Amino acid sequence: MDIRPLADSANAESLVADVLPWVHEAGNPYFDWLFDGAHVAMPVLASRMKSSSSEVSIREATLFVDSSDDAVGGFIAWSGADLQKRRRADAIAYLQSVGKPSRSPLMQRMRESRHLFATVEPDEFYLSKLGVRSDVRGLGYGRILADRFLTIGLVRGIRRFVLDVSASNIQALRLYESLGFQVAAKSHLQTGEMTYLTMQLDPTWGNP
């Protein structure tokens, strides 16, 4: 097994089809609610993954690759400063990606959900997406990826980590709690029947 950042990969875009399923799942239930179904969400995400300005840019993914060179999972993470400008770019692109009749409902859903996720400070490191292929779950790969996310942040001198997770994703919640993340905020969107938890980790917590 090998953990491989794609920032300098010449063939990153060719991996979009392989990576898209777990990026889509990691962003649900929000993505399917926002775009009113997976049939719209997945092609929009695939397009944005090819963009260097997107929060889900494939070039900023770190992949977990098996001995056959197949990606079994990965994560995408951002500093708070990068995250905000990428979310703005995605919002514009999302509106441009749908037909005119769908634009107004999409804009309304974007307004309704604008406070659903954490506001990340410039000096914080945000775990945007983390996922493992469905056929290899339960083997500890998620923890390996989460550990690598934390290691990358610490090497960069970051001391506070943030993520958002659906309250219904019990397995992910247990993973993050086992790493020391604590719930900092809870947001509920009644129209989409979604509850998201903002979790934070500061490695100095508990130290004298």
The predicted pLDDT at position 86 comes to 96
Query: Using CA atoms, how far apart are residues 204 and 90, in angstroms rounded to an integer?
Result: 34
The predicted pLDDT at position 75 comes to 96
The predicted pLDDT at position 205 comes to 66
Pick from 62, 171, 61, 194: which is nearest to 117 by CA? 194
User: Is residue 170 classed exposed, middle or buried when 0-12, 13-18 and 19+ CB atoms within 10 A define those classes?
Assistant: exposed
Class for the domain spanning 2-201:
alpha beta
The predicted pLDDT at position 94 comes to 96
The predicted pLDDT at position 66 comes to 76
φ and ψ of 77, to 5 deg: -140, 150
Query: Using CA atoms, how far apart are residues 71 and 78, in angstroms rounded to an integer?
Result: 21
The predicted pLDDT at position 1 comes to 67
Output the average pLDDT for the chain: 91
DSSP state of 43: H
Outline where the chain has alpha helix (H).
16-26, 30-34, 38-49, 80-97, 100-112, 141-155, 170-178
User: Is residue 9 classed exposed, middle or buried when 0-12, 13-18 and 19+ CB atoms within 10 A define those classes?
Assistant: middle
Say if CB 22 and CB 61 are below 8 A apart: no
Q: Which residues of the chain have pLDDT under 50?
A: 208
DSSP state of 128: E
- Sheet strand arrangement including 194-201: 2-5, 61-65, 71-79, 125-132, 161-166, 194-201, 182-189
Predicted TM-score (pTM) of this structure: 0.92
| Length of the chain (residues) | 208
